[in-house]
A = this chain, B = another copy of it.
């Protein structure tokens, strides 16, 4: 009840609205991907996005998903992430500065924020003669053993993701 009149109809997802604002031509496929993304609370890879999209409408190909996430990244709507699983994962770009902790045993991804990192990063860049343009930080951790010991104490396996 608080959106501008022109886009007040139900069924317009948050990301679709952002696409429209940026003047993208909205096709059925793009609308679908936009909706899937808007409803995702996690960090899906392309394969996963494709799976969720096909489930709603089979008339989409994975090549289109690849093309669309790339487009949305160029438009600043998505950010590409690398959690070390060999596939790119996507994150909405306007969720504010945050980082990720990956559970090395389960692959789950937990978000957190902490302004100190940026400050220190900025200071270090300056000391080296640079203006900080961007920075990435990922933590890999193991849940404290409060129950039993985990089975595979290895390097981060294919990250899955938290469901919320």
Hey, which bits of chain A sit against chain B, CB under 8 A? 82, 84, 101, 103-104, 110, 112, 114, 116-117, 120-121, 124-125, 128-144, 155-156
Contact = CB atoms under 8 A, between A and B. Distances in A.
A128 B114 contact: no
Please indicate which of the listed interface residues A116, A132, A133 has the most CB atoms of chain B within 10 Å of its own CB.
Answer: A133
A75 to B, nearest CB: 13
Contact of A133 (B104, B114, B121, B124): B104
B141 A130 contact: yes
Given A101-B130, A129-B144, A112 B124 contact: yes
A116 B120 contact: yes
7 closest A-B pairs by beta carbon, nearest first, are: A130-B141, A134-B140, A125-B141, A133-B140, A135-B139, A136-B138, A137-B137
19 contacts: A82-B82, A82-B84, A101-B125, A101-B128, A103-B130, A104-B133, A112-B124, A117-B117, A120-B120, A124-B139, A129-B144, A131-B142, A131-B143, A132-B139, A133-B140, A133-B141, A134-B140, A135-B138, A135-B140
Contacts of A140: 132-136
Contacts of A144: 129-131
Please indicate which of the listed interface residues A82, A138, A156 has the most CB atoms of chain B within 10 Å of its own CB.
Answer: A138
A121 B140 CA distance: 10
A155 B140 CA distance: 25
A40 to B, nearest CB: 21
Contacts of A139: 121, 124-125, 130, 132, 134-135
